[in-house]
Amino acid sequence: MGVDLMRKSVSTVFFILLLSTLAPAQQCSVDLKDEKGTVQLTVETCESIGSFSLGGLYENKWERLTYHYPKPWAGTFITVHVDGKYYSTSTHPQNSILLDGYSDKKPYASGNSIITSWSLPEGIDVTQTITLLENQSIVDVKAENKDGQTHLIGVRIHVDTMLGTNDGAPIYVPGKGLQTSEVQYAGNEINFKYWKAYNKPWDPTIVATSFINPFEEYTLPSKMIIANWKQSKNTAWDYNVNASMPVTGDSAVILYYTPERVPAGGSFRIKSGYGSEKPVLPVEKGEWGLTEILVDKGMGDYCPDDVMTITVDGLSSRIRNTGKILLNVYANGKEIHSETKLQVFDGGVVSSTQFKMTVPETKEDLEFTFKATLQNDTGAQADTLSQGKIASVRISKCVPPKPPKEPFNWMRLIPILVILIILIIFGAIILIAASIIYRGNIVLQRFAEGDKIMIQVVNKTRKTLKDCTVVEAIPEGAEIDVETLGVTRRRDRLEWIIGKLAPGEEALLEYRIMGKDPESNTILNWSGGSRQLN
């Protein structure tokens, strides 16, 4: 009997274990590919809801563009800043609130997008929409203020980069070169429109590009940090850069969008692109060529007499090369600047050559275009690169120069003195008229009968008072019973809208206060004056 019972128990346990292995695992992601099958997105639906990862198709093989692909990853996440509090889509940050508890709609696919939404206790609705296009994704974060008050709202995006098998992908920043240690760019330092990550800088086969070009559909971040992911993963917002900390073991990029005051009914929205791309030096250019032209102002706004710094990037992928770079600058199609500089290109390192030019005087708007020509040591043309839509002059935005100072002419004071005398006479007339019109006074008084408070307003002047309101201070948390119509209770006050009060007319506010003493602070406001009763 005992042996049979033991066999039954063992059989039952075995059966339960067998069922558990056959039961389907919980699906914790939503996956999506673009129409042409060039990029794939996967978004977390169980824990760290909304965190994601991305892959790209290279030579018919899916490769990682962020860590942990083809599964979602809490290391690639967003943070929403609301009035000094941080809400994150990841469990990693130590000083933030996990957004999972405020999930409104878990990630779902709609067309070529995966959408996730949350409702925050401050009355802020947050929507993350990641849209797939050919070779790229667009991360769109929108925070809508559904509250009746203004809120301070900002966004941070934290990307755990991984290119193929390289978790410590170096980051190329146009005009700054290939970055292998932590670095921060802010304000006008962000004069580039994209950044790239590589699996191998010397012979890249997998390249990811993030687009932040404000002249397209993207939002220029206020700050960008290239970080060591193991150091940055635990932060929700602020991160202190260590310039001696390498990122080649585990790299990440953080994009900041400074918090702004968003009024009731308003919204805060940012867009950033990330996907697969060509290397800095495309294969068709060979092993030596020009890669980028950029200017020192991120938005490209210049005025006459400004000094513009133009940077031309170039790369020799394997060996050291020496060449000349000829830069031609055109304004509205007319050449205005030409300059040549000698540049040494070390193998595998992006080299930057800087040119300076003074923006010419102009009475019309200008659009600048740039052409860089690379010449080898024999003078033959090795490569050319043209760039437009990165710099302009808008006369309406430029402050006109101050006119030269002239000797002060004391005779100019005579008209001013005449005007002052006229104003004084006119003011005296107004005061006399007002004293006649408002002869009499405005009565504001308070009466108390036990817990009942009465505020009386009497117009004893000769003129109708307009827009009359009474503000009565009350203790916070007090139980109030208002007997008068048209009274609104706020947290620490009553607001009574009287409107017009004709000569001789009176108005009475009556309310009861229980459990606390009254504040005895009353203010009467009307169009043209106010009175306070303490």
Domains, the chain, in order of start with CATH, read: 29-276 (2.70.98), 283-397 (2.60.40.10), 442-533 (2.60.40.1170)
- Is residue 351 within 8 Å of residue 314, measured between CB atoms? yes
d(CA 346, CA 213): 29
Give yes or no for a contact between 33 and 130, defined as CB atoms under 8 angstroms apart: no
Residue 154, CA distances (Å) to 37, 79, 86 in order:
33, 8, 9
**Angle, vertex CA 327, rays to CA 322 and CA 328, nearest 5:** 155
Q: Which pTM does this prediction carry? A: 0.67
Q: What is the pLDDT of residue 45?
A: 98
Q: Nearest to residue 92, comparing CAs of 212, 288, 239? A: 239
What tokens were used for 103? 């999930």
Q: Name every residue whose Cβ is closer than 8 Å to that of residue 13 and which is 6 or more positions away in sequence.
A: none
Q: What is the pLDDT of residue 6?
A: 39
pLDDT at 405: 60
Cβ neighbours for 264, distance < 8 A, ≥ 6 positions apart: 145, 147, 148, 149, 150
pLDDT tens, per residue, the chain with 534 residues: 444 433 334 443 343 343 344 444 579 999 999 999 999 999 999 999 999 999 999 888 999 999 999 999 999 999 999 999 999 999 999 999 999 999 999 999 999 999 999 999 999 999 999 999 999 999 999 999 999 999 999 999 999 999 989 888 889 999 998 899 999 999 989 999 999 998 876 667 778 899 998 888 899 999 999 999 999 999 999 999 999 999 999 999 999 999 999 999 999 999 999 998 877 777 778 888 998 999 998 888 999 999 999 999 998 878 888 999 999 999 999 999 999 999 998 887 788 999 999 999 999 999 999 999 999 888 889 899 999 888 999 999 897 655 556 666 767 788 888 888 998 888 778 766 655 555 578 898 888 888 888 999 999 888 899 999 999 888 887 888 888 888 888 878 889 989 999 998 999 989 898 878 788 889 999 988 888 887
Whole-angstrom Cα distance, residue 440 to residue 309?
71
pLDDT of amino acid 433: 63
Beta strands in 219-266, from DSSP E residues, in sequence order? 223-228, 251-262
Pairwise CA distance, residues 55 & 45, whole Å: 18
- Are 94 and 86 in contact by the 8 Å Cβ rule? The answer is no
Q: Given this model, what pLDDT does residue 2 score? A: 44
Q: How far apart are CA 61 and CA 199, in angstroms?
A: 15
Tokens of 229: 């992911």
Query: Cβ contacts of residue 508 below 8 Å, gap of 6+?
Result: 454, 455, 456, 457, 484
pLDDT tens sequence across 430-469: 766 655 555 578 898 888 888 888 999 999 888 899 999 9
CA distance 185 to 273: 18
pLDDT at 403: 54
- Looking at residue 259, what is its pLDDT? 97
Convert the pLDDT of each residue in 387-408 to its tens digit. 988 899 999 989 765 555 666 6
List, edge to edge, every strand of the sheet that includes 366-375.
Answer: 301-302, 381-393, 366-375, 321-331, 334-345
Q: What is the C-alpha separation between 31 and 530, in angstroms, rounded?
A: 64
Q: How far apart are CA 140 and CA 273, in angstroms?
A: 9
What integer pLDDT is reported at residue 435 of this predicted model? Answer: 56
